[in-house]
Amino acid sequence: MSQKLIECVPNFSEGVNLDIIKQITNEVESVAGVRLLNVDPGKATNRTVVTFVGEPAKVIQAAFLAIKKAGELIDMSKQKGEHPRMGATDVCPLIPISNISMEETAAYARELAKRVGEELQIPVYLYEQAQPNKGRSNLSVIRAGEYEGFFKKIKLPEWVPDFGPAENDVKRGATVIGARDFLVAYNVNLNTTSTRRANAIAFDVREAGRVLREGDPVTGKIITDANGKPRSVPGSLKAVKAIGWYIEEYDVAQISMNLTNIEITPVHKAFDEVCTKAAERGMRVTGSELVGLIPLKAMLDAGKYFLHKQQRSVGVSEKELIKIAIKSMGLDELGPFIPEERIIEYLLKDKANNKLVSMSLAAFADETASESPAPGGGSISAYVGALGASLAGMVANLSSHKKGWDNRWEEFSDWAEKAQLYKDELMSLVDLDTIAFNRIMESFGLPKSTDEEKAVREKTIQDATRYAIEIPFKVMQAGLNSMDVIKAMVLTGNPNSVTDAGVAALCARTAVLGAFMNVKINASGYKDKDFVVDIIYQGNEIERKAIALEAEIIELVNGEIL
């Protein structure tokens, strides 16, 4: 069964004393099976965002230990910072990552909150999906008044904590624990030091907008409706919370945003909207800052968005898309932006699954030529197929930027993007084919002394064999699919690159036929004959189509060059 994973992103009210931060993160790392992904301290905010991931029970234990240690080391009666806060551990959200529902994650959040309240005697409030009372599920509403105001607030009947004592802890304050979707904390830098002007932009863009006032928009009397409730004008961005502040460390004002649903408002849209609103108010955006981690898709979508605005092909490598996103949003203005340290998928990536594709060309050739049986024909087939898809993408990109073809850039951009998808899939299959082979070898090494051991061994061998059939079959499918792009590039692409497309066809055909050999040899040892008959039938069809397409493409290429 696939592993259940949740992420925890506690915010601690200490961003200056690195020794205190290290003692807190040491508690996280003391729990086996929990992986510390990121530690992001901020001096001006006096706040550190910590990110770790693991199986739910282990994450709960790590979070509890970190909250306990933070309460021992951080004295809220002396804490000051730009960011709103109410406790040593200000907020501790749990986020579902894989194979777990939001409902399950919320249950774990309530379990953690109960333990913190009862064992540590810290007042705890539930928020977001963990809070059944939606009237007090919003973090900013809970935190209103901050640490200083909570000594009175906590005594109000409507603000009795969900767990723990109804008494604000002088040293540790109170804590908010909950479950939420993935949130991106994102700050946009302005060419001003005015908090008031930054706030004006924040009110322009945040979903809650601004309260209407008579006369002066900041100090004027609040305008109310017939029921006495304040009237407001919503901002331009949905699923966005924002405030303006001045960061002394950088000597700039920022729009500090929480993007609570990046499917609704992605990072690049938030950045562009702040640019627009800043310009309307006579200011300019100089760059931006990511706090914590970001999903890979958000960075890739941003890269494509900015390339599209330039009317350039988006069918470029993942690395290039990320580079465009960083430069377009100025994510490296205040410090280096290292993708391997800021993108969550990169931090979770298992290096063993990328051993071969991480090698240099020379090292890969040497590894192939060694006495080890892997990588073998399956991995080489996948790699040759990836080279064919890469060549197709090259022709598409050259065509997209060809002088005089400006009105066709989007057409070729679409082809280039498809080529990149096939290339990426085939590259991932390079290592997976070798992993599949190794699984078979490992299963043959299992003990077989008893009937029970023999049964386990046989099942493991059969499962590994099926996997070793399915991986090269995927190579066949991806190789054949890439030939649609290759043919299109021969027919409509830059004529100066037609031979490159021809070579791509040769690579794709090799990938299909080579992978099919691996399918067949592995299928010979698989006992589910219905599955074998079906996979071989499909393989024969793919092979037939690939051979026919290659012949057609080569004939077209030769017609152009002879």
Provide the annotated active-site residues: 83, 433
DSSP characters over 199-243:
HHHHHHHSTT-EE-BSSSTTTSPBPB-TTSPBPEE--S-TTEEEE
- Spatial contact of 333 and 285, defined as CB atoms under 8 Å apart: no
- Helix/strand/coil for 281: coil
What's the Cα-to-Cα distance from 363 to each of 83, 355, 360, 369, 489, rounded to whole Å? 49, 11, 5, 10, 32
Peptide bond into 472 cis (omega under 30): no
Beta carbons within 10 angstroms of residue 334's beta carbon: 18
Closest CA to 128 of 115, 116, 118, 137: 137
Closest CA to 285 of 181, 187, 195, 383: 187
DSSP state of 407: G
Tell me which H or E stretch contains 473: helix 451-492
- The answer for residues whose C-beta is within 8 angstroms of residue 431's C-beta and 6 or more apart is 353, 354, 355, 356, 357, 379
- The pair phi, psi for residue 217, each rounded to 5°, is -65, -15
What span, in angstroms and rounded, lies between the C-alpha atoms of 144 and 245?
Answer: 17
What span, in angstroms and rounded, lies between the C-alpha atoms of 189 and 289?
Answer: 8
What span, in angstroms and rounded, lies between the C-alpha atoms of 504 and 390?
Answer: 8
- Spatial contact of 145 and 153, defined as CB atoms under 8 Å apart: yes
Tell me which H or E stretch contains 54: strand 47-54
- The answer for residues whose C-beta is within 8 angstroms of residue 117's C-beta and 6 or more apart is 123, 124, 161, 162, 163, 164, 165
Structure tokens at 381: 């087939």
